[in-house]
Structure 1
Amino acid sequence: ECPMLPFGGSEQFNWSPDSRYIVYTSRKKTGRDYAISTDSDIYRYDTATGQTENLCKPADYKEPEIDPSRSMEHQTINHLDRDCNVGYDTNPAYSPDGKYVAWLSMARNGYESDRTRLCVLDLKTGAKTYVTEAFQSGVDGFCWAADSRSFYFTGVWQARSMVHSTNLKGEVRPLTTGDFDYGAGLALCGKNLIVTRHSISAPDDIYSLSFKKKKNAEVRQLTRENQYFQERLKMGEVKERWVATTDGKKELCWVVYPPHFDPSKKYPVLLFCEGGPQSPVSQFWSYRWNLQIMAANDYIVIAPNRRGLPGFGMEWLEEISGDYSGQCMQDYLSAIDDICKEPYADKDRLGCVGASFGGYSVYYLAGHHDKRFKCFISHDGIFNTQQQYYETEEMWFPNWDLGAGPWRKGISADPDNAEKVNDGQKVNPFTTSPHLYVDRWDTPILCIHGEKDYRILSSQGQSAFSAAVMRGIPAELLLYPDENHWVLKPQNGILWQRTFFRWLDRWLKK
Structure 2
Amino acid sequence: MRFLIAVTLCLSPAAFAGRPFTPEELLATRRLDDPQISPDGKLVAFTVRQKSLEANRDLKDVWIVPFQGGSARQFTRDGRSEHPRWSPDGKKILVVGQRAGQDQAQLWLYDLEAGGDARQVTSLTFGADLGTFSPDGKWIAYTSEVHPGCSGTTAEVDSCIKKRLEEQQASKVSARIIDHVFARHWTEWKDGKRTHVFVQPAAGGPARDLTPGDSDWPTWRLGGGDDLAFTADGNEIIVSAKPAQREAWSTNGDLWAIPVGGGAPKNLTADNHGDDARPRPSPDGRYLAWLSQARDGYESDQWKLKLRDLRTGRVSVIGDFDDDASAFVWRRDSKGIVASVLKRGRFYLNTVSLDGKVARFSESATGDDFDVAPDGSVAVVVSGMARPPELARQAAGVAPQPVTRFNAEQYAGIDMPGAPTDLWIDGKDGSKVHSFVLQPANLSGRAPLLVLIHGGPQGAWEDQWGMRWNEAAFAAQGYVVLAVNPHGSTGYGHKYEEEISRDWGGLAYDDILRSVDAAEKLPFVEPGRTCAAGASYGGYMVDWIAGHTDRFRCLVSHDGVYDIAAMYGSTEELWFPEFEMGGPPWEVPETYRKWSPSTYAKNFRTPTLVVQGELDFRVPVEQGLGMFTALQRQGVESRLLYFPDEGHWVLKPRNSQLWYHTVFDWIRSHSAPRKQANR
Q: TM-score range by the shorter chain?
A: 0.7 to 0.9
Whole-Å Cα distance in 1 between the matches of residues 401 and 577 of structure 2? Answer: 44
Gaps of 5+ in 1: 58-83, 413-427
1:394 partner amino acid: E
Matched, 1:239 2:421: yes
AA matched with 1:195: V
| Aligned 1:368-447 pairs, distance under 5 A | 368-369=548-549, 371-408=550-587, 411-412=589-590, 428-447=591-610
Match of 1:12 among 227, 230, 235: 227
* Correspondence for 2:255: 42
Q: Residue type matched to 1:241 in 2?
A: L
Cα drift, residue 196 of structure 1: 1.2
**1:352-405 Cα deviation digits (max 9, x unpaired):** 100000000000011112x21010001010011111111110000000011122
- The aligned counterpart of 2:458 is 278
Deviations 1:72-108 (A, max 9, x none): xxxxxxxxxxxx2221211111101001111111111
Are 2:673 and 1:502 equivalent residues in the alignment?
no
Which of 151, 154, 162 aligns to 2:340? It is 154
1:322-345 deviation digits (Å, cap 9, x = unpaired): 110110100010111111112432
User: Contact 2:434–2:485 (CA<8 Å) still a contact in 1?
Assistant: yes
Tell me the secondary structure at the aligned position of residue 517 of structure 2. Answer: helix
- Spell out, residue by residue over 1:460-498, the C-alpha distance to the aligned partner (whole angstroms, 9 max, x if none): 111111111111111000110111110111110000001
What's the offset of the Cα at 1:51? Answer: 4.3
Change in Cα spacing, 1:8 to 1:48, as seen in structure 2 (3 Å) is farther
Q: Do structure 1's residue 460 and structure 2's residue 460 form an aligned pair?
A: no
- The alpha carbon displacement at 1:45 in A equals 1.5
SS at match of 1:353: strand
Q: Which residue of 2 aligns with 1:109?
A: 296
The higher relative CO (CA closer than 8 Å, separation ≥ 6) is in 2
Aligned pair 1:303/2:483, yes or no?
yes
Partner residue, 2:358: 172
| Partner Cα distance (1:283, 1:10) in 2 | 21
Letter in 2 for 1:40: G
> CA shift at 1:181, angstroms?
4.4
Q: Which secondary structure state, in structure 1, belongs to the residue aligned with residue 625 of structure 2?
A: helix
Q: Tell me, yes or no, if structure 1 residue 206 matches structure 2 residue 391.
A: yes
1:78 aligns with none
CA deviations 1:254-274 (Å, max 9, x no partner) are 000011211xx2311111111
* Superposition map of 1:52-451 within 5 A: 52-57=265-270, 84-133=271-320, 135-178=321-364, 181-211=366-396, 216-237=397-418, 238-262=420-444, 265-369=445-549, 371-408=550-587, 411-412=589-590, 428-451=591-614
8 Å contact kept, 2:530–2:671: yes
Contact 2:370 2:378 in 1 (8 A): no
Which shows bigger deviation, 169-178 or 90-99? 169-178
User: Contact conserved, 1:141 with 1:186, CA < 8 A, in 2?
Assistant: no
The alpha-carbon deviation at position 146 of structure 1 amounts to 2.1
Kept after mapping to 1: 8 A contact 2:448/2:529: yes
Distance 1:387 1:184 in 2: 37
Shift of 1:286: 1.2
TM value normalised by structure 2: 0.65
Of 456-465 and 353-362, more deviation after overlay is shown by 456-465
Task: Name the Cα RMSD after superposition.
Answer: 1.6
**Match of residue 474, structure 1, among 637, 661, 664:** 637
Native 8 Å contact 2:283 2:332 kept in 1: yes
Q: 1:21 is matched with which residue: 210, 224, 236? A: 236
Q: Say which one has the larger Rg.
A: 2
- Equivalent residues of 2:229, 2:280 under 8 A apart: yes
Q: Distance in 2 between matches of 1:190 and 1:42?
A: 30
Partner in structure 1 of residue 130 of structure 2: none
Secondary structure of the residue aligned to 2:513 is helix
Tell me the distance in 2 between the aligned counterparts of 1:279 and 1:27: 24
The structural deviation recorded for 1:16 is 1.9
Structure 1 window deviating more from structure 2 (357-366 vs 189-198): it is 189-198
CA distance in 2, matches of 1:284, 1:10: 18
Aligned pairs, how many? 457
Which whole-Å CA distance do the structure 1 matches of 2:244 and 2:312 have between them?
Answer: 29
Deviates more, 1:147-156 or 1:443-452: 147-156
Structure 1 residues 51, 467: closer, same or farther in 2, change over 3 A? closer
Q: Which runs of 5+ in 2 are unaligned?
A: 1-215, 674-679
**Is the alpha carbon distance of 1:181 and 1:503 closer, same or farther for their aligned partners in structure 2, counting shifts above 3 Å?**
farther
* In 2, Cα distance between equivalents of 1:508 and 1:132: 46
State whether residues 269 and 300 of structure 1, in contact with CA within 8 Å, keep that contact through their aligned partners in structure 2. yes
Q: Which amino acid aligns with 2:306?
A: C
| Cα 1:42/1:6, change in 2 over 3 Å | closer
**Aligned partners of 2:371, 2:222: CA distance in 1, in Å?**
18
Q: What is the CA deviation profile of residues 286-331 of structure 1, one whole-angstrom value per residue up to 9, with x for unaligned ones?
A: 1120111111000001111110111111210100011101101000
Residue in 1 aligned with 2:60? none
